């Protein structure tokens, strides 16, 4: 990959990846609604609204690979999710097709699977159970990736990102933590692995308490370096200070993703 586009470059994850990807891909192009406040002189930024098809197409000019972080990253009103994560994601893949982009790494989310109980370990073959409109939009993005991979010959890797950060901060995050350099490793697989067509992996580090079977990622060459158990004592102590949430504490999606707007019968769901 000579020229890589990073969308959502001004967000929290994007800001960190700007620093980590630049040494690997010197011709890294950044895009978002607004430029990062700390944009450096050696960084190239192209402003673009994902809902603006023409703007996204312009940003994809001459691009070899895309790391697509852009969009609305938490739950929100339907119109917000629709424009940023559904229409915007379609615009991104369509622009990639038109401009001959070879690879797309799609930042999916663990919230695609959020209504699986924590007591069940799942792999990539498990039935999607999104916990929010946001999670549903990420499932749509995975579907787009599959369509454009198989129909238009764009290699696509969908990464169901857990919790990105330097360390897990509570009990839930001990299961889903993703160290920044481990995410970089997954991104590089998506951009560089020969003969990649379409793959889905879980974005997590080496987590002893994981709810996900990430053996497929390992088979692709992923070797996570972060171990969440190294932070277990600190994370479990922090957990004691958090309020109980019967719904959020039962499902993998957690609080507030599963519990907000929830009006189902929890006990009935537990019996299914």
- Taking the C-alpha atoms of 79, 81, 82 and 86 in order, what is their torsion angle to the nearest 10 degrees? 170
118 Cβ partners below 8 Å, 6+ apart? 175, 211, 249, 250, 251, 252
CA 61 to chain CA centroid, Å, is 24
Helix (H, G, I), strand (E, B) or coil at 172: helix
Q: Let me know: does 122 contact 113? Beta carbons within 8 Å.
A: yes
Residues identified as active-site: 134
Instruction: Using alpha carbons, list the distances in angstroms from residue 19 to 12, 24, 37, 181, 184.
Output: 12, 10, 14, 11, 11
Instruction: Kindly give the residue spans of alpha helices, DSSP state H, lying in 132-251.
Output: 133-152, 171-176, 180-192, 215-219, 232-239
Bridge partners, 122 (sequence order): 212
- Nearest Cα neighbor of 201 from 223, 229, 171, 232 is 223
Q: Let me know: does 224 contact 206? Beta carbons within 8 Å.
A: yes
């Amino acid at each position: 990959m000579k020229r890589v586009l990073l969308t959502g470059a001004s967000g929290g994850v994007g800001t960190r990846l700007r620093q980590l990807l630049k040494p690997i891909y010197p011709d890294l192009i950044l895009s978002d609604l607004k430029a990062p406040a700390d944009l450096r002189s050696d960084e190239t930024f192209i402003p673009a609204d994902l809902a603006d098809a023409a703007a996204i197409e312009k940003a994809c000019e001459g691009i070899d690979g895309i790391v697509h972080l852009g969009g609305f990253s938490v739950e929100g009103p339907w119109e917000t999710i629709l424009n940023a994560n559904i229409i915007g994601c379609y615009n991104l893949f369509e622009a990639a097709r038109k401009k001959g982009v070879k690879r797309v790494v799609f930042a999916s989310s663990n919230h695609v699977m959020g209504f699986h109980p924590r007591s069940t370990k799942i792999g990539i073959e498990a039935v999607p159970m999104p916990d929010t409109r946001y999670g549903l939009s990420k499932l749509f993005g995975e579907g787009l990736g599959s369509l454009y991979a198989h129909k238009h010959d764009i290699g696509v890797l969908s990464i169901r990102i857990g919790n990105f950060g330097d360390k897990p901060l509570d009990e839930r995050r001990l299961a889903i933590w993703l160290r920044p350099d481990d995410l970089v490793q997954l991104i590089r697989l998506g951009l560089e692995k020969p003969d990649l067509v379409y793959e889905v992996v879980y974005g997590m580090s080496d987590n002893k308490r994981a709810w996900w079977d990430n053996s497929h990622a390992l088979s692709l060459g992923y070797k996570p370096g972060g171990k969440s158990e190294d932070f277990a004592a600190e994370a479990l102590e922090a957990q004691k200070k958090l309020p109980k949430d019967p719904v959020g504490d039962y499902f993998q999606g957690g609080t507030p993703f599963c519990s907000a707007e929830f009006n189902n019968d929890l006990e009935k769901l537990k019996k299914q």
